[in-house]
A = this chain, B = another copy of it.
Amino acid sequence: MTTLPATTALPFKVADLSLADAGRHQLRLAENEMPGLMALRAEFGASKPLAGARIAGSLHMTVQTAVLIETLVALGAQVRWASCNIFSTQDEAAAAIVVGPEGTVDAPAGVPVYAWKGETLEEYWWCTDRIFDWSAEAAASGAEWIGPNMILDDGGDATLLVHRGREFEAAGVVPEATDDASHEYRVVLDTLRASLELSADRWTRIAAELKGVTEETTTGVHRLYELHAEGELLFPAINVNDSVTKSKFDNKYGIRHSLPDGLNRATDVLMGGKVAFVVGYGDVGKGAAEALRGQGARVIVSEVDPICALQASMDGYQVARLDDVVGEVDIFVTCTGNKDVVRTAHMLAMKHLAIVANVGHFDNEIDMAGLESLEGAERIEIKPQVHEWRLPSGRSILVLSEGRLMNLGNATGHPSFVMSNSFTNQVLAQIELWTRPEQYPVGVYVLPKHLDEKVARLHLDALGVVLTELSPEQAAYIGVPVEGPYKVDHYRY
């Protein structure tokens, strides 16, 4: 890695540009499925509200993200990009973005992307570091130094790097990892240590420049609220995750699509007639259960929250504890965002060749560490991201994507139409923070409801949906403007 020129706009593995054409075809198809983003290009392409914005983006480098990136550029922004997951990059999408719509393999004219499928953790954090290095852009513009002034984040890794970097610069030293630190956190520390060696105030200058972050996920949002509660948040943040058109669409309808897709690609197993166990009946679990039932599986749900448990029951699902039914289940799907939801003891009690899949959270949702350290367990790769684990019980189980998000690892993640909703929220959030900073002192915000409704509105035509309009009398009768917003803030949809 040390031989890599740190300022190149073209990261190494993606430099195989033969993929760009394939990626460009896919972008064109995806654009047809992302009417929200295309509508923003039409609305704002001329006025370029993001002119001046320099966005450091950290989000799965997929075909859909490629359409997002080109939308940000169309609205005037400069962009650098990394993935937020070591497995999720679609190399052809990265290649297409690097080359750019007008560029060629020999004269790339796109956006610097630091992402490829199958990064090591060292590579991953190096890539994330790269989106904060705007020296190439500085050189091009003749500036002495420029940094990014906006972050678009998924999971909070980019935001974390800035906050930790600045903290350690203030302390003058990057601390040693404690004994129980994860491997990944050690890499983060190493990355920042290397940075500190090169510059004593790099992150401090970047932090000062940043106007805000827009965050995609529950996990990242959780970190932001914590930071803000501790008084440590350095810039305003918009919580994109909790837009209705994000959380209730991405989580539910995205998983409804990508869970069965991943199961099929990984195993080709008939879901019909099978017993499927869905751990957690939040939005993700609701989408998972619906998809499995739609394929004829019998779904059992587990829940810790009595309200969600009651919903699952009202929706016709059996609600049981995993411990009580583990031996009769064919397919396990974790949807909780918690850890140790499927434990080693469960795995030892499963049917032969039961399938274990995670669509909720990190790879600790299934106790992969426990499995890996289980004496007598043997791991056989059936194909990439599909492993048979022969267990001391004499039975095997099939673990997908090594316990990580299998809808990304075994399938292609959420489909374009779903991501168009999420990403239209992202772009609107970037515009909000960039163009109306006075409205957003340091803090964590959700998008105002009229923008949430706008996101939905931009996706209706593509589905043939014809909206009804309130008459002025009707609007007055229920006390809302004719053009919305139509609901109180706490409305649950």
Contacts and interface: CB of A to CB of B under 8 A. Distances in A.
A312 B468 CA distance: 13
A315 B296 contact: yes
A471 to B, nearest CB: 7
Contacts of A317: 298
A417 B25 contact: no
Nearest to A318: B298
Contact of A466 (B269, B321, B421, B492): B321
Interface string A270-307: 11111100000001000000110111111100111111
A179 to B, nearest CB: 19
A424 to B, nearest CB: 12
Contacts of A411: 264
Greatest chain B CB density within 10 A among A32, A33, A268, A460 is at A268
Contacts of A299: 316
B311 A248 contact: yes
Interface string A305-331: 111111111111111111010001000
Contacts of A304: 467-470, 484, 486
Interface string A84-108: 0000000000000000000000000
As for how many copies of this chain the complex holds, the number is: 4
Contacts of A463: 273-275, 310, 313, 319
Contact of A471 (B340, B454, B464, B469): B340
How many of chain A's residues touch chain B, expressed as a range?
35 or more
Contacts of A295: 256-257, 260, 291, 294
Contacts of A457: 306
A490 interface: yes
Greatest chain B CB density within 10 A among A63, A256, A260, A309 is at A309
A401 interface: no
Contact of A275 (B245, B261, B464): B464
A292 to B, nearest CB: 9
A490 B493 contact: no
Contact of A305 (B418, B471, B487): B487
Contacts of A273: 253, 310, 313-314, 316, 417, 463
Contact of A261 (B253, B261, B479): B261
A383 interface: yes
A242 interface: yes
A270 B247 contact: no
A339 interface: yes
A459 interface: yes
A242 B490 contact: yes
Given A244-B307, A269-B417, A337-B478, 18 more contacts: A25-B388, A29-B353, A245-B310, A248-B492, A249-B314, A253-B270, A256-B296, A257-B270, A264-B265, A272-B316, A275-B463, A298-B318, A305-B486, A307-B456, A319-B466, A319-B467, A339-B477, A490-B490
